[in-house]
Amino acid sequence: MRAEMERGRDASLRPAIIRAAVLGAIAAVVGVVLGLLIHWFPAQGSTQAHKIDTFWDVLIIVSVPIFVLVVTTVLFSVVKFRMRPGEEDLDGPPIHGNTRLEVIWTAVPATILIALCAYAYIVLHDVEKAPANGREMDVKVIGRQFTWQFEYTGKDGKKFQTTQLYVPEGRSVRFNVVSEDVLHDFWVPAWRMKIDAVPGITTHYRITPVKTGHTVTYPVVCAELCGLGHAFMRQTAHVMTQQAFDAWFAKQSNPSAAAGGATAGGGAAAGGGANVAAGKQVFASNGCAACHTLSDAGASGSIGPDLDKVLASQNQAFIKQSIVDPNAVIAKGFQKGIMPETFKTQIKPPDLDALVKYLYTVTHK
Ligand code: CUA
């Protein structure tokens, strides 16, 4: 009697199951199409980017139907099998265990998962491998509260640092990432690659930059919460033609040839001139330009106060205090704790004096 009743119920449910299956299939197709149409990522700024984007598309194609299947089954059950208190046993006693069902719902997801992991491993291996022709340049990336610093090594082995990232188009670049204080994360979304900057170790990734249309600059972002200034730890990556990059590189690795050579040389005897020139160098190499505006240094940062304005009426003692103890006096419109307190130990005393003198000189003209 009960078996007959259940058979009757199953038959009466069939149209509803078919309806749910059709609706689910439509939702899955719409979901996948939408997922593929949406532009989730910025322009593809590296040769690695399209492989990662393709992997993303595959994940959408596989996971959206599974999500729809689960949601449809849950909704269907909620609607069709809902019961009021006391009605729980109307469709017979609860079922315990169904080996065949359990094997299926373990084996199918396991197979899908292993297949996706294998594919992910292949993609990762592919985007991380060194270029076949061995043509690659190294850039050291230094993370610090709250700026990135980029260090290049010239042909003569001499190093120089910049606050903006410059890379040649179409050439593999290997980034060696370090941190001077806390965890940061070096990320250029357009390149799709990202890695933590960890104090005490060097981490790496490589990409081959490409230009996308007329876009030649991409944002460099810190993707690890590293303090109050985390959100401002943003700089710019410039992708240049090999020719433009070579010219830039030559100028950077031999700055005295371009300008200022006379001042630096002659100033050593005179004292004052060399001091100010050295101070400008200290300003550049400590990433001050990332946060501050200072016209003499071509800096236009807006995270911290505009130095042209706030230092114009201050003496050297005040400037020095603001560097070593930044929270002592806070400029109007800014808040405590943004400027790192590490410059006290990071900048050596003679460099600090040079920096103070430089800042005083260029803001009191
Ligand atoms: Cu550095 Cu967030």
Q: Summarize pLDDT for 330-359 with one digit per residue, the tens.
A: 888 888 877 877 788 778 888 899 999 999
Say whether both 47 and 142 belong to one domain.
no
- 221-233 burial, b at 16+ Cβ within 10 Å, e below that, comes to bbebebbebbebb
The pLDDT score that the predictor gives to residue 336 is 81
Whether 281 and 246 share a structural domain: no
Q: Which atom of ligand 1 is nearest to the CA of 225?
A: 2
Q: What is the spatial distance between Cα 199 and Cα 51, in angstroms, rounded to a whole number?
A: 30
**pLDDT for residue 259:** 46
How many angstroms separate the CA atoms of 137 and 134, rounded?
9
The predicted-structure confidence for 279-326, as pLDDT tens digits, reads as follows 888 888 777 877 889 999 888 877 889 999 999 889 998 999 899 888
Measured by CA distance, the residue closest to atom 1 of ligand 1 is 184
Q: 241 and 166, same structural domain? A: yes
- How far CA 91 is from CA of 9, 47, 97, 166, 300, in Å, comes to 9, 59, 17, 70, 73
In-domain check, residue 85: no
Last residue within a domain, chosen from 49, 64, 80: 80
User: Is-contact 359 279, C-beta < 8 A?
Assistant: yes
Task: Collapse the DSSP code of 157 into the 3-class scheme (helix H, G, I; strand E, B; otherwise coil) and give the result.
Answer: coil
Percent of the chain with pLDDT over 90: 46
In the reported structure, the alpha carbon of residue 132 is separated from the centroid of ligand 1 by a whole-number distance in angstroms of 33
What number does the ligand 1 atom closest to the CA of 197 have? Answer: 1
Q: Is the same domain home to 150 and 64? A: no
- Look up the domain containing 269 and give its range: 262-362
User: What is the torsion angle, in degrees rounded to the nearest 10, for the CA atoms of residue 350, residue 356, residue 357 and residue 360?
Assistant: 180
Asked, for residue 113, whether it belongs to a domain, the answer is no
Structure tokens at 18: 């078919």
**Residue 141 CA, ligand 1 centroid: distance in Å:** 13
Distance between CA 345 and CA 214 in Å, rounded?
43
226 lines ligand 1 (CB under 6 A): yes
Nearest atom (ligand 1) to Cα of 184: 1
The reply to whether 293 falls in a domain is yes
Q: Answer left, alpha or beta for residue 36, where phi above 0 means left and psi between -120 and 50 means alpha.
A: alpha
Domain final residue pick, 207, 226, 253: 253
Last residue of a domain, one of 194, 219, 253: 253
Q: Is 167 found in the same domain as 236?
A: yes
Residue 105 lies in a domain: no
Q: 209: which strand partners?
A: 46
Kindly give the distance from the C-alpha atom of residue 339 to the centroid of ligand 1, in angstroms, as a whole number. 13
Q: How far is the CA of 286 from the centre of ligand 1 (A)?
A: 16
117 in a structural domain: no
Same domain membership, residue 238 and residue 294: no
Name 184's Cβ contacts closer than 8 Å, sequence gap at least 6. Answer: 143, 144, 148, 196, 197, 222, 224, 226, 233
Atom of ligand 1 nearest to the CA of 145: 1
163 in any annotated domain: yes
d(CA 149, CA 151): 7
**Residues near 46 by beta carbon (within 8 Å), at least 6 away in sequence:** 190, 191, 192, 193, 207, 208, 209, 210
Give ∠ CA 141-142-147 in degrees, rounded to 5. 110
Nearest of 150, 169, 159 to residue 46 by alpha carbon: 169
CATH number assigned to the domain comprising residue 181: 2.60.40.420
User: What CATH number is associated with residue 269?
Assistant: 1.10.760.10
Are 270 and 248 contained in the same domain? no
Examine the domain organization and report whether 179 and 273 are in the same domain: no
* List of the chain residues with pLDDT < 50: 258-271
Q: What are phi and psi of 305, to 5 degrees?
A: -60, 155
Report the pLDDT value the prediction gives residue 257, as an integer from 0 to 100: 55
Counting the structural domains of the chain, the total is: 3
Which atom of ligand 1 is nearest to 233's Cα?
1
Question: Which residue spans within 228-341 are E strands per DSSP?
Answer: 234-240, 293-294, 299-300
With a 6 Å cutoff on the Cβ, whether 144 touches ligand 1 is no
- Gap from CA of 287 to ligand 1 centroid (Å): 14
Residue 330, in any domain of the structure: yes
Whether residue 235 sits in one domain with residue 173: yes
Whether 206 is in the pocket of ligand 1, judged by its Cβ within 6 Å, is: no
Q: Is 233 in the pocket of ligand 1 (CB under 6 A)?
A: yes
Cα–ligand 1 centroid distance for 147 (angstroms): 8
Both 52 and 155 in a single domain? no
Tell me whether residue 122 is in a domain: no
CA of 234 to the centre of ligand 1 (A): 9
Give the distance (Å) from ligand 1 centre to CA of residue 196.
10
| Predicted model pTM | 0.70
The verdict on the CB of residue 222 being under 6 Å from ligand 1 is yes
Distance 148 CA to ligand 1 centre (A): 9
What is the pLDDT, as a whole number, of residue 132?
83
